[in-house]
C-alpha cells in the first residue's frame, strides 16, 4: 500500500493547502510537493487547540487513554505505508523504521496505562484542622493539571518515535494538552501519514478536532510564530543547540514566558577505567565502534568521547576501535544539511591543536563514514571546540596521564544526556571518585554498557544540565516526561461538589476510588 502525500497541513480536522510550496528531498524514491506553513495557519491551529482544551483537558483519564490506544492502532493499520515513505525520506533501513514504529505505538500504550493508573497526578491531602491553635488549618488538596495547548517540534533523527506521534506528543496528549505539531522538513510525508492516523483516532473517539494539528515547515517563520503564540503554554523540542537556543530565547522573551523543553546536544563521554581496559580492551573497542556507527551516528546519545589513561592497554583499546571503525562502510545520512554539517565538524576537529587523526574518511554527498581522533587531556580541556557535538559517527579519544587528570576531564564537561563508566571490580575506588562528578553532569549515568538504545520506561531520564537540555528538571523519554506538561494546583476548602473527580475522596463521591 503506497502512500502518496497530498502535501497539506492538518488544521483542526481540515487538510489545508497554501500557494507557496517546498519539495521533499528523499534519500531515494519520488520527490513530493508540500505546502509551506504560515503564521496564519499556526494561529488557526492554536485557537482550535485552545477551544479543544476546554473539553479534552477536563475529560476522564480513561477516555484520554482510549484515544492514545486508538492512535497506536491507526498507526499500525498504516504500518507498511509508513515504513515505505519513512525509508524513502530518511534513508534509514526498513528494520529501523519498523522498530521505531513499534517503539512509537509502545510509547502511546505505555502512556495510556500510565494515566489509567493515575499516580502521575501526585495527589496530596492535608486534612482540615478546625480546632488547631493559634490558627485552624483549611482542607488542602493538590494535584497535577494539564497546562493547556502545547507546541511540539519533531526530531529529524527519529521520524516516528520523536516526531508527529512521538514521545512529546504522547506525553502532552496523555497529560490532557492539545498539540500543535511543527512538521520536520526532513520527513514531511511521514509526518503527513502519521497525522492522518491521529486524525482518524480523533474521529473514532469523538474528540474536538483541535486536539491535534500539523503545520508543515518550509520556512523558519512557522517555528517562531508557534513558540510566540499567546495560546501556546509549553514547548517540546528535539534538535540542534543553535535552533533550540533560538526558540528557547523567544519563549523567554514573550510577554508571558513559557517553559521550553529542549533536548539539544551531547557528546556522551565514556570513562574507560584501567582494569576494565586491561581485561577486555579489544571487546570494548569493538563495542564502542558498533555504538558510534549505529544509525550513522545520528543519535543524541551517541558516545562521541572515550577518556583513557595512557598506556599499553589504552593503545590496544584504541587500535581495536580503529580497526572496527575502518571496516564499517558508508551510511546515508538523514539530510544533505546534516551530512554537510558532519563533514564540516570533522574537518574543524581535525584542525585543532594537538589533535591526531587515527582514521579519516572521505564522505560523498549525504554519506557518513567514521572518523577517529586522539588528543591529550591538556589540549582537550583548553579547547571548547573539541567538546562540541559533531552529529554523526565521529569518535574522540582523550588521553589522560592518571586518575587525577581523568577527574579533571570529567569536571570540565558541560551538561550531558549520558555519562558512562566502563569498570571492573578493581576499578571501584576510581569509580567512586568519578560518580559524584558524573551525577552532576548527566541525566543518566551508566556502567558497562553503551548509551545508545534509550529504554522507554518509568525510570528513564533523557535530559540533563544545559546544553544537554534547557530544563534539568525534565526528561523527554519515559513516563516521567508527562510532568513537563502539567502544573500543580492546590484546592483550598473547595466543596466536594466542585472538586475535580480525580481529587474527591471516596466518601465524598461514592463510586470513585480513594487515594
Ligand atoms: P534543527 O535545525 O535544530 O531543527 C529542528 C526543528 O526546529 C526544525 O523543525 C526546524 O524548523 C526548527 N528550527 C530550528 N531552528 C529554528 C529557528 N531559529 N527558528 C524557528 N524554527 C527553528 O535540527 P535538525 O534539523 O533536526 O538537525 C540539525 C542538527 O541538529 C544536526 O546536525 C544535529 O547537530 C542536531 N540534532 C541533535 C539532536 C539531538 O538529539 N541532540 C537530534 C537531531 C538533530 P525548520 O527546519 O523549518 O527551520
Q: Three-state SS string across 410-477, please?
A: HHHCCCEEEEEEECCHHHHHHHHHHHHHHHHHEEEEEECCCCCCCCCCCCCCCCCCCCCECCCCCCCC
Query: E strands of 14-127, at which residues?
Result: 14-16, 21-23, 33-35, 124-126
pTM (2 d.p.): 0.95
Q: Which triple of cell numbers denotes residue 316?
A: 590496544
Atom of ligand 1 nearest to the CA of 155: 26
224: its cell numbers: 517562531
Q: What pLDDT is recorded for position 509?
A: 61
Q: How far is it, in rounded angstroms, from Cα 273 to Cα 284?
A: 11
Q: What is the pLDDT of residue 446?
A: 98
What mean pLDDT value characterizes the chain? 95
CATH 3.40.605.10 range(s) for the chain read 9-264+469-489
Percent of the chain, pLDDT > 70? 98
Atom of ligand 1 nearest to the CA of 186: 25
For 141-189, write each residue's pLDDT tens digit: 999 999 999 999 999 999 999 999 999 999 999 999 999 999 999 999 9
- Give the CATH number of domain 9-264+469-489; options: 3.30.565.10, 3.40.605.10, 3.90.1150.10, 3.40.50.920: 3.40.605.10
Whole-number Å distance, alpha carbon 165 to ligand 1 midpoint, is 18
pLDDT band of 361, cuts 50, 70, 90: confident
User: Which grid cell is 20?
Assistant: 507557496
- In this predicted structure, which of 199-213, 266-280, 325-339, 461-475 has the lowest mean pLDDT? 325-339
Predicted confidence band at 514 (pLDDT cuts at 50, 70, 90)? Answer: very low
Pick the CATH number of 270-447 from 3.40.50.510, 3.40.50.10470, 3.40.50.720, 3.40.309.10: 3.40.309.10
Span from the CA of 186 to the centroid of ligand 1 (angstroms): 10
Nearest to 51 by CA among 228, 259, 195, 209: 209
Query: In this model, does residue 452 exceed pLDDT 60?
Result: yes
Buried b (16+ CB within 10 A) or exposed e, 343-353: bebbeebeeee
Please list the active-site residues.
Answer: 263, 300
Residues lining ligand 1, Cβ inside 6 A: 153, 155-157, 182, 184-185, 217, 220, 223-224, 238-240, 243-244, 246-247, 263-265, 300, 338, 341, 389, 391
pLDDT band for position 506 (cuts 50, 70, 90): low
Closest atom of ligand 1 to 221 CA is 20
N- to C-terminal Cα separation, the chain: 48
CA of 460 to the centre of ligand 1 (A): 24
Q: Does the pLDDT at position 507 exceed 70? A: no
Residue nearest to atom 45 of ligand 1 (CA): 220
Q: Which of 457, 460, 482, 453 is nearest to 106 (CA)?
A: 457
| Beta-strand runs (E) in 63-171 | 124-126, 140-146, 150-153
From 223, 295, 336, mutation site for ligand 1 pocket: most ligand atoms within 8 A of C-beta: 223
Q: Which of 484, 471, 469 is nearest to 417 (CA)?
A: 469
Q: How far is the CA of 208 from the centre of ligand 1 (A)?
A: 30
% of residues, the chain, pLDDT over 90: 94
Gap from CA of 266 to ligand 1 centroid (Å): 14
Pairing of strands 124-126, 150-153: unpaired
Amino acid at each position: 500500500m503506497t502512500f502518496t502525500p497530498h502535501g497539506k497541513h492538518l488544521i483542526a480536522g481540515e487538510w489545508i493547502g497554501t500557494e507557496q510550496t517546498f519539495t521533499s528531498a528523499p534519500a531515494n524514491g519520488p520527490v513530493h510537493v508540500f505546502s509551506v506553513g504560515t503564521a496564519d495557519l499556526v494561529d488557526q491551529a492554536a485557537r482550535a487547540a485552545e477551544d479543544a482544551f476546554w473539553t479534552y483537558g477536563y475529560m476522564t483519564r480513561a477516555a484520554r487513554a482510549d484515544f492514545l490506544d486508538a492512535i497506536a492502532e491507526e498507526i499500525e493499520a498504516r504500518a507498511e505505508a509508513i515504513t515505505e515513505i519513512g525509508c524513502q525520506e530518511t534513508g534509514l533501513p526498513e528494520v529501523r523504521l519498523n522498530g521505531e514504529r513499534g517503539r512509537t505505538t509502545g510509547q502511546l500504550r505505555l502512556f495510556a496505562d500510565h494515566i489509567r493508573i493515575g499516580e502521575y497526578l501526585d495527589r496530596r491531602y492535608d486534612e482540615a484542622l478546625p480546632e488547631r491553635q493559634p490558627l485552624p488549618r483549611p482542607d488542602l488538596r493538590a494535584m497535577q493539571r494539564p497546562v493547556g495547548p502545547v507546541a511540539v517540534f519533531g526530531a529529524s533523527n527519529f521520524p516516528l518515535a520523536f516526531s508527529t506521534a512521538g514521545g512529546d506528543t504522547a506525553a502532552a496528549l496523555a497529560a490532557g494538552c492539545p498539540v500543535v505539531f511543527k512538521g520536520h522538513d526532513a520527513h514531511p510525508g511521514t509526518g503527513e501519514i502519521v497525522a492522518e492516523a491521529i486524525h482518524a483516532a480523533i474521529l473514532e473517539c469523538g474528540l474536538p478536532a483541535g486536539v491535534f494539528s500539523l503545520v508543515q515547515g518550509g520556512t523558519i517563520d512557522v517555528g517562531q510564530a508557534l513558540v510566540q503564540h499567546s495560546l501556546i503554554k509549553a514547548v517540546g523540542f528535539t534538535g540542534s543547540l543553535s535552533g533550540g537556543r533560538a526558540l528557547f530565547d523567544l519563549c523567554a522573551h514573550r510577554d508571558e514566558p513559557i517553559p521550553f523543553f529542549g533536548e539539544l546536544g551531547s557528546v556522551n563521554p565514556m570513562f574507560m577505567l584501567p582494569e576494565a581496559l586491561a581485561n577486555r580492551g579489544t571487546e570494548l573497542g569493538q563495542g564502542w565502534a558498533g555504538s558510534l556507527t549505529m544509525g550513522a551516528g545520528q543519535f543524541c546519545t551517541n558516545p562521541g568521547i572515550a577518556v583513557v589513561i595512557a598506556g599499553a592497554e589504552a593503545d590496544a583499546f584504541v587500535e581495536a576501535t580503529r580497526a572496527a571503525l575502518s571496516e564499517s562502510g558508508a551510511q546515508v545520512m538523514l539530510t544533505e544539511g546534516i551530512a554537510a554539517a558532519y563533514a564540516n565538524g570533522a574537518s574543524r576537529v581535525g584542525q585543532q591543536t594537538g589533535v591526531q587523526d587515527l582514521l579519516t574518511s572521505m564522505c560523498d554527498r549525504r554519506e557518513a563514514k567514521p572518523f577517529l581522533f586522539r588528543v591529550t587531556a591538556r589540549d582537550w580541556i583548553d579547547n571548547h571546540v573539541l567538546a562540541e557535538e559533531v552529529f554523526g559517527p565521529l569518535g574522540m579519544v582523550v588521553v589522560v596521564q592518571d586518575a587525577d587528570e581523568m577527574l579533571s576531564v570529567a569536571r570540565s564537561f558541560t551538561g550531558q544526556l549520558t555519562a558512562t563508566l566502563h569498570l571492573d571490580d578493581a576499578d571501584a575506588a576510581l569509580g567512586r571518585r568519578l560518580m559524584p562528578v558524573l551525577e552532576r553532569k548527566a541525566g543518566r549515568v551508566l556502567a558497562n554498557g553503551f548509551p545508545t538504545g534509550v529504554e522507554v520506561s518509568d525510570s528513564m531520564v533523557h535530559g540533563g544540565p544545559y546544553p544537554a537540555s534547557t530544563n534539568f528538571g525534565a526528561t523527554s523519554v519515559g513516563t516521567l516526561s508527562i510532568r513537563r506538561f502539567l502544573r500543580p494546583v492546590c484546592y483550598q476548602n473547595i466543596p466536594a461538589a466542585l472538586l475535580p473527580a480525580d481529587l474527591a475522596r471516596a466518601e465524598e463521591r461514592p463510586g470513585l476510588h480513594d487515594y
